[in-house]
Amino acid sequence: MSTKRVVQAENAAWVGVVGNMFLAVIKGTFGWLAGSRALLADAAHSASDMVGWIAVLVGTRTAPSSDEEYAGRRKNAEYVGAIVISVLLLMLGLEIALSSLKTIYHGVGTPPSWYAAVIVLLTMIGKQLLAQYGKKPGRRLSDRLSVAGAWEGRSDVYSSLAAFIGIAGALAGSYYDIPQFYYLDAAAGLFISLLVLKTGYRLVAEAVNQTMDRLLHRDDIEELIRAVQCVKGVITVDDLKAKEQGHYVVVEAKISVNPKISVMEGSEIAKMVRHYLLKRFIHVSEVIVQVQPYDPGYPYKSSPEADADLYPTLLH
């Protein structure tokens, strides 16, 4: 992905973060003032959307340092932060669920204020505007953005509809003098809190998996290097990088071979390395091997005649 597209992706993620934070504050404030469990739960759902976009933002960021160890520590710190926020989100969802259950158990005496329904409708329009912004050309730039947007869109529909139905039903119960309908607001809050808990669990699981992958990354590379060194014809492994792509890994290796062998023999060694890694490591999806002649360097260089029998060829 080009630098311009990365910047556009980060901008889209920032809009998702700020937009959902604003909606969460509006819903939470008016939900508390109106006495609506459904609107409070919908505020928590917007907060879960915000955390999801923070995770996307972390995934699209690239560490500015060329120091891989520093970059790894920084990424791990970011994912640990995402875990902490996601756990807090789980606690918030659980608190709202318990509060809704207590309200249902002890009974509901009054419906929420009428403006709770207005706030739900206005915030639904705001969510649609955010969704349209994310669908503009040049902004749906990565799988993470697409997946986050798709999940957020489906979940938001359920959450907003549940909140509106719960609040409108409670208000209808007040208008037609049916007190039993007051429970619809608390029931909607309970349903939405379950959506929040599901989102929080998904974010925690994803962040934990990403953190564990990075913590084990160095050990994985060392194991891959040892495997390459076992292939006949490889003298040294000068460089090896493993890039994670979802649940799979792409390996880029630079090896040194006997400088006296032919280009075809060097190519055969590269093929052997590729096939060996793909066969031995089921999580490796692709291997790219760069072959170069081995150069012991000064002061170990000797005459060409002395080097002739130093390294055996692939065929001997």
Question: In terms of domains, do 30 and 166 share one?
Answer: yes
Residues 59-83 have a mean pLDDT of 55
Question: Does the pLDDT of residue 74 top 50, yes or no?
Answer: yes
| CA separation for the pair 257, 265 (Å, rounded) | 9
CA nearest neighbour of 254 among 269, 264, 232: 269
| CA separation for the pair 81, 199 (Å, rounded) | 16
Token pair of 147, please? 């997946």
Question: Does the pLDDT of residue 14 top 90, yes or no?
Answer: no
Task: Specify the CATH number for the domain of residue 297.
Answer: 3.30.70.1350
Question: In terms of domains, do 239 and 105 share one?
Answer: no
| CA separation for the pair 90, 84 (Å, rounded) | 10
Position 223, amino acid: E
Question: In terms of domains, do 105 and 247 share one?
Answer: no
* Higher-confidence position of 77 and 269: 269
| CA separation for the pair 241, 95 (Å, rounded) | 45
* Higher-confidence position of 92 and 141: 92
Question: In terms of domains, do 230 and 171 share one?
Answer: no
Please indicate, yes or no, if residue 203 is contained in any of the structural domains.
Answer: yes
Cα–Cα–Cα angle for 144, 149, 155, rounded to 5 degrees: 125
Question: In terms of domains, do 235 and 298 share one?
Answer: yes
Q: Sheet with 248-257: list strands edge to edge.
A: 236-245, 248-257, 284-293
Distance (Å) of CA 192 to CA 89, 117, 181, 255, 310: 13, 16, 18, 55, 72
Residues 2-10 have a mean pLDDT of 64
Quick one: pLDDT band at residue 83, thresholds 50, 70, 90?
confident
φ/ψ (deg, to 5) at 81: -60, -40
| CA separation for the pair 91, 194 (Å, rounded) | 12
Using DSSP, state whether 255 is helix, strand or coil.
strand
Question: In terms of domains, do 268 and 295 share one?
Answer: yes
Assessment of whether the complete model's pTM goes beyond 0.75: no
Quick one: pLDDT band at residue 56, thresholds 50, 70, 90?
low
Residues 265-289 have a mean pLDDT of 92
Cα of first residue to Cα of last residue in the chain, in angstroms, is: 45
Q: What is the pLDDT of residues 137-168, one digit of tens each?
A: 444 444 444 444 444 557 788 898 999 999 99
Question: Does the pLDDT of residue 24 top 50, yes or no?
Answer: yes
Q: What is the pLDDT of residues 96-111, one digit of tens each?
A: 999 999 999 998 889 9
Domain limits for position 134: 3-215
| CA separation for the pair 54, 115 (Å, rounded) | 30
Q: Of 208-212, 282-286, 297-301, which one has max mean pLDDT?
A: 282-286
Number of other CB atoms surrounding residue 100 within 10 Å: 26
Structural domain count, the chain: 2
Question: Does the pLDDT of residue 170 top 80, yes or no?
Answer: yes
Among 181, 215, 249, the domain boundary falls at 215
Quick one: pLDDT band at residue 300, thresholds 50, 70, 90?
low
Are 258 and 233 a contacting pair, CB within 8 Å?
Answer: yes
| CA separation for the pair 240, 256 (Å, rounded) | 12
Please indicate, yes or no, if residue 316 is contained in any of the structural domains.
Answer: no
Please indicate, yes or no, if residue 312 is contained in any of the structural domains.
Answer: no
Are 256 and 295 a contacting pair, CB within 8 Å?
Answer: yes
Please indicate, yes or no, if residue 241 is contained in any of the structural domains.
Answer: yes
Question: Does the pLDDT of residue 277 top 90, yes or no?
Answer: yes
Are 256 and 233 a contacting pair, CB within 8 Å?
Answer: no
| Residue partners of 302: CB distance under 8 A and separation at least 6 | 310
